[in-house]
Structure 1
């Protein structure tokens, strides 16, 4: 697991994405990227977070940033999730969990006394030069997309 912090280089990735094709970190060189990691498509918190980012997608675009969500779900699962909830964010599929591990978000979790591995809801704001500007860990969904948008706008300012 990488020990990433503010100013670290964001780990490269090359993964399948919704709608077919692949997505790479280097695709976004020269512009800010919001990379949000979430546990699972079509669960309540993940759906709320994806809908919140979709609702603000136009404002993120005006600020020059792209939004990419990532989970261990398959690209086909992402396609169904996008269609069901009319999402406009890009979703990357990390079924091998290599990128999740590189970003340090694949963690031991506990629920109802059961220990398991899963994604810790985390968002990275990556600068145009590929370095990490901000990290939000253990994200609480309400108000999160708005906080990330404010951080994106402050990068431009």
Structure 2
């Protein structure tokens, strides 16, 4: 179930259509002509994922004013995503990828070290997709804390 795909800058971003927290379909194609930040996180309502999601929430206005849309993707089902969005007042779509097809297409699922053990799971990853649908910035194995500040710096938004 793990993947060896590793996207690079300039690659075409893999197309997808996933269900959001409300059960509505959301496609990457819906954002054609716009800049999109697609980030993958292991599980809704866990400490690190909450930190990361709230960081995006708190920075959403400055990201949007710079032309970026944010999409969070996890393997959680819609009801868990809805609860997470509601509890944390998240102001961007959360997408459900239970079969991990999109995780695998982006190389965001595979082996990682967790507390000294090798496990297979979601690799906390972020991809900035430009207006033409190409990967502008692929970031693998990011840290939850301080991620958005680091991302803003890489995008020249600070």
TM norm structure 2 = 0.91
Please state if 1:23 is matched with 2:26.
Answer: yes
Farther off after superposition, 105-114 or 23-32? 105-114
Contact kept, 8 Å, 1:50 with 1:89, in 2: the verdict is: no
Cα offset, 1:76, TM superposition? 1.1
C-alpha separation in 2, matches of 1:58 and 1:51: 13
Tell me the secondary structure at the aligned position of residue 56 of structure 1.
helix
Tell me the secondary structure at the aligned position of residue 83 of structure 1.
helix
Match of 2:137 in 1: 134
**Aligned counterpart in structure 1 of residue 36 of structure 2, from 28, 33, 38:** 33
Match of 2:48 in 1: 45
Contact kept, 8 Å, 1:94 with 1:100, in 2: the verdict is: yes
TM norm structure 1 = 0.91
C-alpha separation in 2, matches of 1:135 and 1:89: 20
C-alpha separation in 2, matches of 1:152 and 1:30: 18
RMSD value, Cα: 1.6
C-alpha separation in 2, matches of 1:86 and 1:52: 12
Contact kept, 8 Å, 2:48 with 2:145, in 1: the verdict is: no
**Aligned counterpart in structure 2 of residue 148 of structure 1, from 148, 151, 154:** 151
Structure 2 gap ranges (5+): none
Please state if 1:119 is matched with 2:107.
Answer: no
